[in-house]
Amino acid sequence: MTSASARLALLRIGNTAGGLGFTLAKWVDQMVLPACGRGLQHFHCRSTAERRELLFMIGFDSETIPMSTGTPFANVLIIARPRCAPLQ
């Protein structure tokens, strides 16, 4: 495997299109962060489709894997890779 093919970004996101599952996941995140000493945080919430479009616009191809199977949440893993990674 070349270094160019090994580059990727992993993003665990709450999918705003997930309805109640998204609302619950966001609420849990907002409760956990202060408990871990990180204070209240502002979340930039978007749907999976919107996130993938933004990634595409900045040069990434992406795929998604559901992470919510068996849970009440609406989380998705986005795997993003550069479209034209330079060879090293």
The string of pLDDT tens digits covering residues 41-71 is 777 889 999 999 999 999 999 999 999 889 8
Structure tokens at 62: 């992406």
CA angle 20, 25, 46 (to 5 degrees): 80
Output the six-digit token pair for 30.
């907002």
Going by pLDDT thresholds of 50, 70 and 90, the confidence category of residue 88 is low
pTM of the model: 0.74
Helix or strand holding residue 12 (H, E): strand 9-14
What gap in Å lies between CA 66 and CA 2, rounded to an integer?
Answer: 28
Provide Rg for the chain, Cα atoms.
15
Query: Which has more confidence, 78 or 2?
Result: 78
